[in-house]
Copies of this chain bind each other. A is one copy, B any other.
Amino acid sequence: MAMVCLSDFEAYAKKYLPKMAWDYFAAGADDCTTRDENILAYKRIRFRPRMLRDVSTMDIRTKILGTEISFPVGIAPTGFHQLAWPDGEKSTARAARAMNTCYIASTYSTCTLEEISAAAPSGLRWFQLYIHRNRAASQQLVQRAEALGFQALVLTVDLPYTGKRRDDVRNGFRLPPHMKVKNLERAFEVCKMSPLDPSVTWNDIYWLRSLTCLPIIIKGILTREDAELAVRHGVQGIIVSNHGGRQLDEGPATIDALVEVVEAVRGRVEVYVDGGIRKGSDVLKALALGAKCVFIGRPALWGLAYKGEEGLQDVLRILQDEFCLSMALAGCASTSEIGPHLVQFSRL
């Protein structure tokens, strides 16, 4: 079967992954409304394509936090990549490097930061973290990441508690015995309650700032009010995200929330978005609405499930080609020409 578009990889993963793993990756909170809305919301946005622009030479590069990537699609932080492919996050890191884009490694990786780092030493890597009840453990992780050359910290703020994902409850989801959340092994082995701290507030951004020189990106913002607070607390970037619809169900689709966040931020920090990206033209829409870059979650896992590093590269290459073609057909030869004039919200 030819792998032509991302849904081909989805179909493959659904067919070949163990059900518990597929369900875990696919899960949304409650009725999965927000998970699905993330995709549907893109379909309500229409292009206003312009003709007769010279698109013979295409420049699809972008810069995030000053670093150039080959095209504006990075890998969002998702957990447990060994559920998709034996080499787990090492494959993910290699694919991102090969495609010259950014990989945000999750705290909940099944490889250590050291392994990830060693797999793709020269790649652009960011590190995603939660703030733990055990602050020393968080501090240690931050400092390990910084020492290993991760270039930014991505603080996830939408998970004071884990969302209710019905299939995971039904399946009694847990990692197979041979997989471990390796980054946390030492810190949490005796902790019985959730290691994440639900008392975290904006003030903890200052604490995190005190630990590291790395840029801090805040992930999980969905409102203008929180976007303003993020800027005021000195973060360097915002990822508009609803955790793939896995936390609070029936919040906004991320592409809809992006609009109000971008408006509130007024260019003071970079804004990114994840959730619902399934085609190159979705990337173009996100950039037209003000995102500097998008990150993909589940599609990256489908790529891994298909053929590991190579499969993920296939996924990224398809998105790259589709993004480039969409840009050209919309009349843009360079990412710098992308703007809100390219899109409108459909009446339906």
Contact = CB atoms under 8 A, between A and B. Distances in A.
B30 A322 contact: yes
Interface in A320-344: 321-322, 325-326, 328-330
A63 interface: no
B48 A326 contact: no
Given A30-B279, A47-B248, A49-B248, A328 B56 contact: no
B169 A252 contact: no
A221 B331 CA distance: 12
Interface stretch (A20-28, A122-130, A195-203): A195-203
A204 interface: yes
A186 interface: no
Interface stretch (A80-88, A89-97, A142-150, A154-162): A154-162
Given A47-B250, A226-B51, A328 B161 contact: yes
Contact of A250 (B30, B43, B223): B43
A157 to B, nearest CB: 4
A19 interface: no
A47 B161 CA distance: 17
Given A248-B49, A248-B326, A250-B43, A198 B54 contact: yes
A150 B115 CA distance: 66
Interface residues of A, number: 60
A305 interface: no
A164 interface: yes
Nearest to A51: B157
A252 B164 contact: no
B48 A223 contact: yes
Nearest to A133: B56
A52 B204 contact: yes
Contacts of A157: 51-52
Contact of A48 (B5, B252, B281): B252
- The quantity of this chain's copies bound in the complex is 4
B51 A170 contact: no
Interface in A107-149: none
Contacts of A247: 329
Nearest to A249: B281
Q: Looking at chain A's contact residues, is the secondary structure mostly helix, strand, loop, or mixed? A: loop
A14 interface: no
Contact of A221 (B5, B51, B200): B51
A220 B49 CA distance: 10
A129 B321 CA distance: 26
A322 B252 contact: no
Interface of A: 2, 4-5, 30-31, 33, 43-56, 157-158, 160-161, 163-164, 166, 169-170, 197-202, 204-205, 220-223, 225-226, 229, 247-252, 279, 281, 321-322, 325-326, 328-330, 348
13 contacts: A5-B164, A30-B322, A43-B250, A44-B348, A47-B252, A49-B223, A51-B221, A51-B222, A52-B201, A54-B198, A55-B160, A160-B328, A163-B325
Given A4-B166, A5-B30, 18 more contacts: A2-B169, A5-B166, A30-B279, A31-B279, A46-B250, A46-B251, A47-B250, A48-B222, A49-B158, A49-B222, A50-B225, A51-B157, A53-B201, A55-B199, A56-B199, A163-B329, A164-B321, A248-B281
